[in-house]
Structure 1
Amino acid sequence: MARLIEITDPADERLADFRDLSRADRRPDRPGGRGLVIAEGVVVVRRLVASPYPVRALLGVRRRVEELAEDLVGLDVPAYVASAEVMAEVVGFHLNRGVLAAADRAAQPTAAELADPGRGRRCLAVLEGVGDHENLGAMFRNAAALGVDGVLLGAGCADPLYRRSVRVSMGHVLRVPFAVLEPWPQGLDMLRDNGFRVVALTPRADSVPLRDAGLDRGRVALLLGSEGPGLTEEAIAAADSAVRIPMASGVDSLNVATAAAIAFHAAARP
């Protein structure tokens, strides 16, 4: 089992992986970030431990660390036990969930590997400009729940492994494979060459209503855009078809994570 180590000094150098997590320079995708994956809460830490991401250490109040005892069997890493007050000083905010884990990144497949017909993937999500970490995390959770086989990140997307994304995804970002799709949007041709129909989700009035789009037939790549402007004209033009979710009068669009869940349900087979 992980080695339980009592910590009383928030300045203890062994807690470097968990220090000042609220600061921008601790983000893994920013200069100064260490590229670590941070999991928060018992459920998410449990999923991290079960994932391919190599765990480095845990930090938590004793009660929460003990809840993870069975999960930590055979895991030879330090589990630092501290009071809630010491934890708050270390991470820079009060952590209601009571436990954190830090891990190194794991190797991800390439976009070509995700699209490879021999690997049996039938439904992929392709994102453009999704820069909000909470929306990104929610989309990964939706993808896991609704049977989407992987996520491809086009231009302008945030890092799925940032702490907020991992938390909002409930750790499912650690199990849904993802890759960067480059160049953009020319990389969509690779999906088409591998038998995917590329379908752009857009509220444009001239697009096909979702119920008529036949997303549950064949291999499909669902193209979703940013929270505000949506997909660029270049991305829509590069798709095989444009599809909209019909809405009541006076409402022009949905939050991107909500729209994604509706499209995933129509296309995927959990």
Structure 2
Amino acid sequence: MPIIEINDINAPGLEIFSTLTEAQLRNELEPEKGIFIAESPKVIRVALQAGYQALALLCENRHIQGDAADIIERCPDIPVYTGSRELLASLTGYTLTRGVLCAMQRPLPRPLSEVLQKARRVVIIDSVTDTTNIGAIFRSAAALGIDAVLLTRSSCDPLNRRAVRVSMGSVFLIPWTWIDDIETEMH
């Protein structure tokens, strides 16, 4: 795909980076069409290495030949949108921490039995609603060698952009799934 210089923040294809909310990106009615946003070259590389599929890349001009060059080379069939730091901040509504965002295909939720199949050490996250806390829990779980993470549905999404960034990509490395109720699922 060619590199597309952004001249209009309302151009087609950019809505996944600008106007869609986290809930719209998740697409709970059609989960196979769900998307999440990975932020920073390091996190995007971890996601790609873990088998996640990139759909589109948004990066500052300076990263085309810099921090994003290997990602662009690795994903030659996706659109790569680029612009100045100021233009991208205007598009997304925030300054990009590391200058690169990647829209990625959201995986379907894993069955609980699959996540627990080989797990010996499991973390259960119950009603944690702060995205940075979710990311920090996943990052700590990876550092401690945790085998699986279970989240109650009242917890926030581990594939939220901020949670993914704070986890430094750990959310892609530890099997996880949603559970309805701790009491029911653990018996």
Q: Aligned in 2, Cα 1:186/1:140: closer, same or farther, shift over 3 Å?
A: same
* Deviation beyond 4 Å, 4+ runs, structure 1: 23-27
How far 1:102 sits from its partner (Å)?
0.5
Identity %: 35
Q: Aligned in 2, Cα 1:27/1:17: closer, same or farther, shift over 3 Å?
A: closer
Q: Deviations over 1:127-158 (max 9, x none)?
A: 21111111011001111122111101125211
Q: Deviations over 1:58-97 (max 9, x none)?
A: 0011222332222333421111111112111210122232
Kept in 1, the 8 Å contact 2:72–2:80? The answer is no
**TM-score, normalised to structure 2's length?**
0.85
Kept in 2, the 8 Å contact 1:39–1:166? The answer is yes
How far 1:47 sits from its partner (Å)?
1.8
Which of the numbers 171, 175, 178 marks the counterpart of 1:177? 175
Kept in 2, the 8 Å contact 1:28–1:162? The answer is no
Map 1:230-245 → 2, pairs under 5 A: none
Q: Could you say what the CA RMSD is over the residues aligned between the two structures, in angstroms?
A: 2.4
Kept in 2, the 8 Å contact 1:108–1:177? The answer is no
- 1:68 — aligned with what? 68
1:90 aligns with 2:88: no
Kept in 2, the 8 Å contact 1:137–1:164? The answer is yes
- 1:110 — aligned with what? 111
Q: Aligned in 2, Cα 1:149/1:18: closer, same or farther, shift over 3 Å?
A: same
Gapped regions of structure 2 (runs ≥ 5): none
Secondary structure of the corresponding residue to residue 47 of structure 2: helix
Map 1:33-72 → 2, pairs under 5 A: 35-66=34-65, 67-72=67-72
**TM-score, normalised to structure 1's length?**
0.61
In terms of mean alpha carbon deviation, does 150-159 or 160-169 score higher? 150-159
Gapped regions of structure 1 (runs ≥ 5): 190-270
How far 1:166 sits from its partner (Å)?
0.8
| Distance in 2 separating the partners of 1:48 and 1:69 | 16
Map 1:112-131 → 2, pairs under 5 A: 112-116=113-117, 119=118, 121-131=119-129
How far 1:183 sits from its partner (Å)?
4.1
Kept in 1, the 8 Å contact 2:125–2:149? The answer is yes
